[in-house]
Structure 1
Amino acid sequence: MSETLPSAKILVVDDEPDLEALITQKFRRQIRQGVVTFLFAHDGQEALDSLSVHHDIDMVLSDINMPRMDGLTLLAKLQDLADRPSTIIVSAYGDMANIRTAMNRGAFDFLMKPIDFADLETTIDRTLRHVEALREGRRRQSMAERAHASLARYFSPNVAERLAGDASGLELGGHRRDLATLFTDIAGFTSLVESLDPALLAEILNGYLAEMTDIVFAHEGTVAKIVGDALHVLFGAPGDQPDHAARAVACALALDQAAEDFRTRWRVRGIEFGVTRIGVHAGPAIVGNFGGGRYFDYTAYGDTINTAARLENANKAFGTRICVSETAVVRAGAFRGRPLGDLLLRGKQESLRAFEPLTVATYDDVALSQYGDAFKKLEAGEASALPAFAALVGLRPDDGVAAFHLKRLLNGSSGTRIEVR
């Protein structure tokens, strides 16, 4: 018998009184080395009782003709077990009818009596290799199922399915890649938490996060982290997405619409749910699984990630809900929106131009053109920028961005460089 296989436990079912001693003698070396362990039963019923106690039996070697319960009946009952062992049937020479019945009932192999122990050793070895192959298949399936359950928390279903089939995708470690990243946060959420009943808070937050993650997955994004009410989303990781920036911008707009609809529904119920602010940036980052043996986290690190988080925060200053970097805008290609300014973000030495993406429904073409003219005057340092923004505010009193620039100009500021803390 090969000794490369893991230790095996075999149940021998036979009413011959001398068989236990013979098998113990013939396999004494393997038994002593722990390669194999034999258990013995004298009929089918005793075998079932033994199987109910010993759940780790790998293989059953059973005679056909036995008292109380014969081998064929035992074989039929073994098929009802969740983890049924592989079975070798032993029969008298020439009893092909019983052998055929045994194979039809799920026997893996058969031996003829009188037993040739060299043949028995070869048959046991072959059967145990089959058992080990089944075990390995179950292990791989279990790993894939666990991986899929874990990945489904972060990735869209199709991405999770692809990664679950590749265990290397779960290994600890990181690598550098170009991506787009998106951060969301709810304004005033801490105050809302302190004022609500815990059960109602759970209903609101769970409903909100379910809608947000569904939208992310619809755009094939990766949820790298959920912290309280905030989402950190990646595009272009773990798999390549050449259009990662376009996906991020489209996702941001979809998240914004869903969040506003969510706010409206809860306002009807008397709950003032804060606006969702979103920051989007694109660039290089280190992505991968980071952590230890008991815990790991698929996430991303680097200046690109920090910048996206700063852009989310910059919405507070402008009264906007989405703030996208120029890098992401350029990579996205077709983009409808307006420049906010050249932002000097916290912790940065150089300014970064940011944009607000817009839909026709939120900002029509005429108003967008008027804003573009006013911003060009602001950029050029022209005195006419002030009346241009004043006119915009007159036409659209709810335009927070135009009001922001008008206030700056009235306070003596000029140009498009804006420090955001």
Structure 2
Amino acid sequence: MRTPPLILAVDDVKENLEIAHMRLAAHGYEIVTAANGEEGLAKARALKPDLILLDIMMPKLDGVSVLKELKRDESLGFIPVILLTAKADRTDIVAGLDAGGDDYLTKPFDQAALVARVRSMLRIKALHDIVQDQAAKLAEQTKALAAWNATLEARVAQQVAEIERISRLKRFLSPQIADLIAASGGAEHLLESHRREVTVLFCDLRGFTAFTDIAQPEEVMKVLNEYHQALGRHIDQYEGTLERFAGDGLLALFNDPLPCPDHAERAVRMALDMRESVFELAKVWRKRGHELGFGIGIAQGCATLGRIGFERRFDYSAVGSVANLASRLCDEARSGQILIEAKVFNAVERLAAQGLFEARPLHPISFKGFRRRVDAYEILKPAAHPLPYAV
């Protein structure tokens, strides 16, 4: 509503307009007049006043007809109308109120009553405008909230997809590598099939099959959980890639999907730590009546790597002779032994020179599936604790 309010007075009697103008202007209102119904209707549409004083009995277009036209015009919104009638004729009053009038005065009207009715209607108009304004703001806020909700839904969907992607990566990668790949946005590209030189470590328990034949299922799973948790910590520490679990067997690789220049050294260092961890576990298992040993094989060479599987289950795998060689070396290792092939030894020979470990060459070994004998070495850590041998 305007300040001051704009009032349109419509009457075909000039004196009535002058009285209304003088009386209402004295109270600070802005007054616009119209001498007939057609002029009043035109000014109402053009000015959209805050209140209309409308005479019922007018030539050309009477007040009731004007009122009906005003109420049909949705662009005018809510404009209160006080009907002015020269007769206390209930028929005129009822017709005007039915047409949409909000109040009425009979002429000659009392000037104090006129001002009081005008104030009353303007209060209603102010309240209506407040409600309309609040409704408009609410509609705008609802629209903004809907847009924000849509944005939030999109963000949540994106975050859920990201969490799922990182979870898939962490199934076979160390957490720090998985986070790095996810942050780079290149996870899917890095997991596509490719060929690369890697260092592969394969390890398993000695005497595990015999143990599963006599132990309770709960005890078997308890041992496996302790074993996997101990080895998993080392895989994360050295940022290796967990290719697979196979019962008590575990295959981890280095230099993929993210390359690292010291992948053979990492594998050997991790093998030494793994052996120490399983040695401590073996003492606990022995107290529970379980004699279990541990062996490791490490090989280096090129492999085909990438994601394999089907829609509901994907794994990351290394395919090639290097993985088979690591497995064969592990099978050859006695309890407590770490066997590496010549390529790995050549890559880590300086570590032996620094005293990290000692290496003992073995006689060339013949493995099924390999045409040539394999030159191999045993890693001996100074003051190493030999694990019990289990058949």
Distance 1:131 1:320, change over 3 A: closer
* 1:93 CA drift (Å): 6.2
Distance (Å, rounded) in 2 between the aligned partners of 1:92 and 1:343: 96
The match for 1:251 is 270
Structure 1 residues 93, 289: CA separation in 2 closer, same or farther (over 3 Å shift)? Answer: farther
Q: From 267, 277, 284, give the equivalent of 2:286.
A: 267
1:324 corresponding residue in structure 2: 340
Separation in 1 of the partners of 2:163 and 2:309?
Answer: 21
CA deviation after TM superposition for structure 1 residue 128, in Å: 5.3
CA, structure 1 residues 114+360, in 2 after alignment: closer, same or farther (shift >3 Å)? closer
Counterpart residue number, 1:356 = 378
2:351 aligns to what SS in structure 1? coil
Find the aligned partners of 1:288 and 1:93 in 2 and give their Cα distance.
67
Counterparts of 1:329 and 1:137 in 2: how far apart (Å)?
A: 50
- State the structure with more CA Rg: 2
Say how many residue pairs are matched: 255
Report the CA distance between 1:279 and its aligned residue: 0.6
Q: How does 1:145-160 map to 2 (within 5 A)?
A: 145-160=163-178
Partner of 1:210: 229
1:17-63 residue CA offsets vs partner (Å, 9 max, x unmatched) = xxxxx9xxxxxxxxxxxxxxxxxxxxxxxxxxxxxxxxxxxxxxxxx
TM-score normalised per structure 2: 0.58
User: Aligned match of 2:300 in 268, 282, 287?
Assistant: 282
CA–CA distance in 1 between the matches of 2:135 and 2:231? 70
CA distance 1:354–1:138, shift in 2 (3 Å): same
User: What is the aligned partner in structure 1 of residue 239 from structure 2?
Assistant: 220
Give me the CA root mean square deviation: 3.1
Q: Which amino acid aligns with 1:161?
A: D
Q: Distance in 2 between matches of 1:140 and 1:191?
A: 49
Unaligned runs of 5+ in 1: 1-21, 23-90, 96-110, 364-397, 401-421
- 1:344 and 2:366 correspond: yes
Is the partner of 1:278 in helix, strand or coil?
strand
Instruction: Provide the residue aligned with 1:241 in structure 2.
Output: 260
Shift of 1:325: 0.9
Query: Deviation per CA, 1:143-183, whole angstroms, max 9, x where unpaired?
Result: 22223333333222211222344564247631111211100
Cα shift at 1:92: 7.5
Q: Deviations over 1:269-302 (max 9, x none)?
A: 22212x1111101121111211111110011111
| Cα distance in 2 for residues equivalent to 1:137 and 1:223 | 31
Are 2:250 and 1:231 aligned?
A: yes
The equivalent of 1:63 in structure 2 is none
Separation of aligned partners in 2, 1:167 and 1:291: 22
- CA drift of 1:256 comes to 1.2
Is the partner of 1:173 in helix, strand or coil?
coil
- Higher RCO (CA 8 Å, separation ≥ 6 residues): 2
Counterpart residue identity of residue 324, structure 2: N
1:87 alignment partner in structure 2: none
SS class of match (2:244): strand
List per-residue Cα deviations over 1:318-337 (Å, max 9, x = no partner). Answer: x7621101111222342331
Q: 1:299 to 1:92 in 2, by over 3 A?
A: farther
User: Are 1:320 and 1:356, in contact at CA under 8 Å, matched by a contact in 2?
Assistant: no
Moved more, 258-267 or 130-139: 130-139
- Equivalent residues of 1:180, 1:234 under 8 A apart: yes
SS at match of 1:349: coil
- Could you say which residue in structure 2 is the equivalent of 1:141? 159
> Does the CA-based 8 Å contact 2:207-2:291 persist in structure 1?
no
Percent sequence identity is 28
Amino acid corresponding to residue 194 of structure 2 in structure 1: H
Cα distance in 1, alignment partners of residues 136 and 288 from structure 2:
80
Are the aligned partners of 1:281 and 1:304 in contact in 2 as well (CA < 8 Å)? yes
2:320 equivalent to 1:302: yes
Match status 1:291 vs 2:309? yes
CA contact (8 A) 1:170 1:289 kept: no
Q: Find the aligned partners of 1:313 and 1:155 in 2 and give their Cα distance.
A: 25
Structure 2 gaps, min length 5: 1-73, 75-126, 353-357
Find out whether 1:334 has 2:351 as its counterpart: yes
2: distance between equivalents of 1:352 and 1:279? 12
Give the secondary-structure state (helix, strand or coil) at the position aligned to 1:334: helix
Shift of 1:220: 1.2
CA contact (8 A) 1:277 1:315 kept: yes
Are 2:212 and 1:187 equivalent residues in the alignment?
no
Check whether the contact 1:145–1:164 (CA below 8 A) recurs between aligned residues. no
Q: Which amino acid aligns with 1:334?
A: L
Matches within 5 A, 1:108-123: 112=133
Return 245-254 or 138-147, whichever deviates more. Answer: 138-147
1:178 to 193, 197, 214: 197
**In structure 1, distance between residues paired with 2:342 and 2:129:** 84
Deviation at 1:113, TM superposition (A): 6.8
Name the aligned partner's letter for residue 339 of structure 2.
C
Contact kept in structure 2, 1:277 and 1:320, CA below 8 Å: yes
Contact 1:185 1:276 in 2 (8 A): yes
